[in-house]
Chain A
Amino acid sequence: MDISILIPELLKGLLNFTGGNLFMILIGSGLILLAVKKEYEPVLLLPIGFGCILANIPLTGMTGPDGLFGVLYRAGISTELFPLLIFVGIGAMIDFSPLLAQPKMVLLGAAGQFGIFGTLILATWLGYPLNQAASIGIIGAIDGPTAIFVSARLAPELLAPIAVAAYSYMSLIPIIQPPIMRLLTTKRERLIRMEYSPRPVSRQARVAFPVIVTLVIGLLVPEATPLISMLMLGNLLRESGVVDRLSKSAQNEIANVATLFLGVTIGSTMNAASFLNLATIGILALGLLAFILDTVAGLLFGKLMSALSKGSINPLIGAAGISAFPMAGRLCAKMAQEEDFDNFILMHAMGANTAGQLGSVMAGGVLLALVTGLV
């Protein structure tokens, strides 16, 4: 037997290893480090980071059509199953009563979607085809499942960078949003106290809400129906009060299993050959811009509402209108408390935040309708 033939066979993993692979493994490790050390969205960044590392080990066959990631991708990402299952869980976690008690917050949830469309227009100017531009714009919602849902349908070739952008920006909310919030609001505005004066929300209203929202949005924006209906199914499980077991499963087991597989599969799409190019950098930059524009639009609309209400609305809650539930809402509450520890705007911020969640799903549906209609 000739040893000289065996050696390359034994070392083929190393021989196929490229600088790009090394770089991507460092990125994957960086994501894991962020998750472990900083606890930035660890539930997502940990599996994404590990998937990224695995995808850059040559010749494993894991990302091939019959490999683990190939199977998971076809089963859960291209069919959009995983984001939808996660939405059942998110729906079961969301308490819409702050929104039901303060319906005017819907306006902030709508304003917070401006960045999606602003970035779409900008990206088409920059030469991206409409389907890609729409997928990039949806990053602005900072809602991972919606971004994956939309881009898997419109531009699957950009799925990896879009999902990574959506999830990592979500984890960077506490870094990206506060400077914008401070820049656009005055101290006096941030100090505005909002008395929590809930109008009582009856059980009937809370149970009827998910059914009515599904019907209304489903009929208005049919493309948004898969997402909104699963979100509302989860919410119905929660609010009905009679299927506590199902509600708990949706919040925990179903959401966790789907998140794990979604994360690791998205990570596995981050191989050096397809991820390391200028398009990715462009997507990350435009996605960040979409996020910033959404925040700015939400804050400006918050200021408008504040002015119209003669200063009884703290404009900070506008920043929660972007979706990114519940991080953005909590951040607004924290910002207000940093100025005045006795100021609790959490429920108002959560009203705007849940409205933003609905708004971004609708925006995703509108994008799907527009783009599939135009392309």
Chain B
Amino acid sequence: MIVKVKIEEQIFQVEISDLQQRPIIAVVDGDEFEIWPEGEPVKPMVEFVAENPIKQPINHQPVAPVRSTSVPSSTPKVATASGITPSTSNNTLLVVRAPIPGVITAVDVQAGSEVSVGQQLCVLEAMKMNNSIRASRAGRISTVHVTTGQHVKHHDILITYAG
């Protein structure tokens, strides 16, 4: 996989063969670097793969910023990364999507509501059955994208968290 990393107006082509491998081997302009992401284990990322198998835009991949690019060398360098920051992987958890197609029959939260885990956010009727859509994380609701009576397709965004 090739990732473009922009550092101070300069764009680097970073080639990474396997993100799961430790250290991550990144090739920048022909130079090989070993990268140990901080904040292991990398569980959040694995989780979001399970949450949401849709491919993320490539710039969302939690790639460690490479600091040692200014020191070209033929031997692998050890670069410390700032780790996988929660903000990148949490982007997928910030939205609540329709798990199945159906009709919204009730909306229990509004913009600004504080919700706790397991709290009902809205009700999605599918196949004549009311499905309770519950909060999988605590937080404040930023936007409610649906209204009662609205038809939603699979994977439509229902609710966005503030963060």
Please report A residues at the B interface, Cβ cutoff 8 Å: 95, 98, 193, 195-196, 198, 326, 329-330, 333, 337, 341-342, 344, 346-347, 350
Q: Indicate if the CB atoms of B100 and A326 lie closer than 8 Å.
A: no
Nearest Cβ on chain B to A79's Cβ, whole angstroms: 30
State in angstroms the CA–CA spacing of A350 and B100 once bound together.
12
Q: Indicate if the CB atoms of B127 and A342 lie closer than 8 Å.
A: no
State in angstroms the CA–CA spacing of A350 and B102 once bound together.
14
Total of A-B residue pairs, C-beta within 8 Å? 36
Please report B residues at the A interface, Cβ cutoff 8 Å: 50, 53, 99-100, 118, 126-129, 131-132, 134, 136, 154
> Quick one: given A195-B53, A196-B154, A330-B127, are A347 and B132 in contact (CB under 8 Å)?
no
9 sample A-B contacts, Cβ–Cβ < 8 Å, listed by A number: A95-B127, A98-B127, A196-B99, A326-B127, A341-B134, A342-B99, A344-B99, A346-B127, A347-B126
Contacts of A344 in B (CB 8 A): 99-100, 131
Nearest Cβ on chain A to B51's Cβ, whole angstroms: 9
Q: Indicate if the CB atoms of B134 and A342 lie closer than 8 Å.
A: yes
Q: Indicate if the CB atoms of B136 and A342 lie closer than 8 Å.
A: yes
- Contacting residue for A341 out of B100, B118, B128, B154, CB 8 A: B118
Q: Indicate if the CB atoms of A346 and B154 lie closer than 8 Å.
A: no
State in angstroms the CA–CA spacing of A198 and B100 once bound together.
9
State in angstroms the CA–CA spacing of A344 and B132 once bound together.
10
Contacts of B134 in A (CB 8 A): 341-342
Contacts of A326 in B (CB 8 A): 127-129
State in angstroms the CA–CA spacing of A330 and B100 once bound together.
14
Q: Indicate if the CB atoms of B136 and A346 lie closer than 8 Å.
A: no
Nearest Cβ on chain B to A74's Cβ, whole angstroms: 34
Nearest Cβ on chain A to B96's Cβ, whole angstroms: 10
Contacts of B154 in A (CB 8 A): 196, 198
Q: Indicate if the CB atoms of B127 and A347 lie closer than 8 Å.
A: yes
State in angstroms the CA–CA spacing of A198 and B53 once bound together.
14
- Contacting residue for B126 out of A193, A341, A342, A346, CB 8 A: A346
CB nearest to A341 among chain B residues: B134
Given A98-B127, A341-B118, A342-B136, output 8 extra A-B contacts at Cβ < 8 Å: A95-B127, A195-B53, A330-B127, A337-B131, A341-B132, A344-B100, A346-B126, A346-B129
CB nearest to A93 among chain B residues: B128
Contacts of B126 in A (CB 8 A): 346-347
Nearest Cβ on chain B to A70's Cβ, whole angstroms: 36
State in angstroms the CA–CA spacing of A293 and B129 once bound together.
26
State in angstroms the CA–CA spacing of A209 and B132 once bound together.
32
State in angstroms the CA–CA spacing of A329 and B100 once bound together.
15
Contacts of B99 in A (CB 8 A): 196, 342, 344
CB nearest to B52 among chain A residues: A195
